[in-house]
Structure 1
Amino acid sequence: MSELKKAKTDPTDVFWGTAEDTRFGMLGLKGKDQHLQPMTHFVDRDTNSLWFMTSRDTDLAKAAGEGWQTKMSGDGTEAWFILVSKGQDVQICCKGRLHYSDEMEKHKELWNPVAGAWFDGPEDPKLAVYRLELEEAAIWASTDSSFVFAWEIAKAHAKDEDPDVGTHTVINF
Structure 2
Amino acid sequence: MSTKNLTNEDAKKKIKELAEGIDFTMMATNLKQQPFHVVPMSTKEVDDAGNIWFLSNKNSEHNKNIERENRTQLIYADKGNFEFLSVYGRATISTDRNRIKELYGSGDDAWFDGVDDPNITAIKIQPDDAHYWDTKNGKVISLLKMVGGAITGNEPDLGEHGDLKV
TM class, shorter-chain normalised? 0.7 to 0.9
**Structure 2 unmatched runs, 5+:** none
Which secondary structure state, in structure 2, belongs to the residue aligned with residue 31 of structure 1? coil
Q: Which structure is richer in relative contact order (CA contacts within 8 A, separation 6 or more)?
A: 2
TM-score normalized with structure 1 length? 0.76
Following superposition, the deviation at residue 164 of structure 1 comes to 4.4
TM-score, with normalisation over the residues of structure 2? Answer: 0.79
1:61 aligned onto 2:54: no
> Matched residues in 2 for 1:111 and 1:19: separation?
17
CA distance in 1, matches of 2:79, 2:21: 8
Q: Name the structure 1 match of 2:107.
A: 114
Give the aligned partner of residue 154 of structure 1: 151
Other-structure match for 2:127? 134
Is 1:83 aligned to residue 76 of structure 2? yes
Larger radius of gyration: 1
Indicate the SS of the match to 1:135: strand
Quick check: 1:155–1:163 contact (8 Å CA) kept in 2? no
| TM-superposed deviation, 1:40 | 0.3
CA distance in 2, matches of 1:15, 1:49: 9
The separation in 2 between residues aligned to 1:54 and 1:43, in whole angstroms, is 13
SS where residue 147 of structure 2 aligns?
A: helix
Of 30, 38, 41, the match for 1:39: 41
1:131 deviation in Å? Answer: 0.5
Moved more, 17-26 or 85-94: 85-94
2:51 alignment partner in structure 1: 49
Matched residue SS, 1:16: helix
Change (3 A) 1:59 1:166: same
User: Number of matched residues?
Assistant: 156
